[in-house]
Amino acid sequence: MVTKMRELPAGAMQALLCPYGLQLVWVPDGTVIPGSHWGEVEAGLVGNGLYLRADTPVHSALHEACHFICMDAARRAQLHTDAGGDDLEECAVCYLQILLGAQLPG
């Protein structure tokens, strides 16, 4: 079962990610998500904006957010769609995604 953003309590993801400098940007249902590397319903990154729809999977939002968190300022300044990073960062992102996910309700 995949949990969608619409299933989280209002403001839960924003409260979790705001301390890291991310802004959640909500996109209307059925429209293209800016900065989405994978397309469809997957979260997108542009600058410090994490782009989401109500049907975006929570794990997708967390994964992209964790890429942002793991980046240095130089990479963040160039961030648009492809978070980049190497295999070691990908491992860190996946682990951080688990830790942050555990802080969300439900």
User: What percentage of the chain exceeds 90 in pLDDT?
Assistant: 92
Distance between CA 55 and CA 72 in Å, rounded? 29
pLDDT in tens, 8-40: 999 999 999 999 999 999 999 999 999 999 889
Distance between CA 15 and CA 53 in Å, rounded? 17
CA 93-6-28 angle, to 5 degrees, is 95
And the tokens for 17? 């990610």
Distance between CA 98 and CA 106 in Å, rounded? 13
What pLDDT is recorded for position 55?
97
